[in-house]
Amino acid sequence: MDGSTTPPAKPKRSRPVQVADQIKQWVVERDLKKGDKLPNESAMIELFSVSKGTVREALRILEAQGLIVTKTGPGGGSIVGEVSANRARSLLANYFYFQDLSVADIYQMRRALEPELAASLAGTLTEDQIAELQELAERYPEPAKSAEEEKEQHIASLVFHARLSEFAENKLLGFVIGFMANILTDMTVYRQLYDPPNVVLWSKGREHQLALVEALRAGQAEEARRIMASHMQVAEELMKVQEAHLLRRFMGD
């Protein structure tokens, strides 16, 4: 006649993840920063009253999420470790492994974001950064002679965008664009080759990248935005001829 029929809902997390949570809490409470040391294994065994195996499983969990790094030897142990962009990308890619994205989906995002990035980057880059971008854009001065070569050029173009994304002051914007460049690179690498190189699109793409570098150097934000928007259209055409759906990942670091 009471709520006893409803066993309040039992989360019942296994011991190792409980301990992992406790360790996180321990870290947050003390507001530990990037390189700070965590207690060593034996200390944690006492601290949480669990066995060595359990502590180790908990540490693996945190390590898998990129939250800690563990070293052996004297002065070793676990320390707080900043989650790398690479790791974050891998973890997120595992999610989209199950979601079946299409090329059209990715380009809907790119059309909205890449011009924004270009505009916000205008006039903020150092000479070294500009020079690096220019070098990337100037590679492959000749149109591709084979499908294999076109694949290479396409990947190089994605490197250009990935590098650009790393310069973003807006880390969220930069991450999302870099993530997409990653996905597209994977799709290109594993792609079947059956389309002949498209000289017109190659030529437009190259012109766009070079013009973009100039606009960035000159600090012309709206011009950079316009060029990038146009560039996205061309890039989308190039990709659309590939398989529409595909995104198979599950690994990587």
Partner DNA sequence: TAAGATTTGTTCGTATGTATC
Partner DNA sequence: GGATACATACGAACAAATCTT
Binding site for its own copies (CB under 8 A): 16-17, 20-21, 24-25, 27-28, 34, 53, 56-58, 60-67, 82-83, 85, 87-88, 91-92, 94-101, 105-106, 108-109, 112-113, 116, 120, 170-173, 175-176, 180, 250-251
Residues within window 59-78 making contact with DNA, judged by CB under 7 A = 59, 70-78
Q: Identify the three-state secondary structure at position 245.
A: strand
The size of the interface with DNA (CB under 7 A), counted in residues, is 25
Return the one option of its own copies, DNA, none that residue 7 interacts with (CB less than 5 to 8 A, by type).
none
Q: Which of 76, 65, 81, 67 is CA-nearest to residue 39?
A: 76
Q: What is the smallest separation between the CB atom of 2 and DNA, expressed in angstroms?
A: 20
Contact between 14 and DNA by CB under 7 A: the answer reads yes
Residue 79 φ/ψ, nearest 5 degrees: -130, 160
Give, as ranges, the residues between 73 and 132 that touch DNA (CB under 7 A). 73-78
Task: Say whether 101 sits in a helix, a strand or coil.
Answer: coil
Query: Considering CB distances under 5 to 8 angstroms, the limit depending on partner class, which of DNA, its own copies, none binds residue 224?
Result: none
Question: Which of 72, 126 has the CB closer to DNA?
Answer: 72
SS3 for 103-155 is: HHHHHHHHHHHHHHHHHHHCCCCCHHHHHHHHHHHHCCCCCCCCHHHHHHHHH
Residue with tokens 């924004």: 116
Instruction: For the CB of residue 34, give the shortest distance to its own copies in the complex, in Å.
Output: 7
- Of 152 and 186, nearer to its own copies (C-beta) is 186
- 99, interface contact from DNA, its own copies, none, CB < 5-8 Å by kind: its own copies
- Residue 32's Cα: distance from chain center in Å? 25
Question: Could you say which of DNA, its own copies, none residue 250 binds, taking C-beta under 5 to 8 angstroms by partner kind?
Answer: its own copies
Cβ neighbours of residue 2 under 8 Å, at least 6 residues apart? Answer: none
Nearest C-alpha neighbor of 115 from the set 238, 44, 205, 212: 212
Residue 235 to residues 86, 180, 206, 214, Cα–Cα distance (Å): 24, 13, 11, 19
Distance between terminal CA atoms of the chain? 54
Distance between CA atoms of residues 80 and 70, nearest Å: 9
Residue 67 touches which member of its own copies, DNA, none, C-beta under 5-8 Å by kind: its own copies
Q: How far is the CB of 36 from DNA (least distance, A)?
A: 14
Per-residue x/- mask for DNA, residues 26 to 55, rule CB under 7 A? --------------xxx------xxxxxx-
Q: Which residues bind DNA (CB under 7 A)?
A: 12, 14-16, 40-42, 49-54, 56-57, 59, 70-78
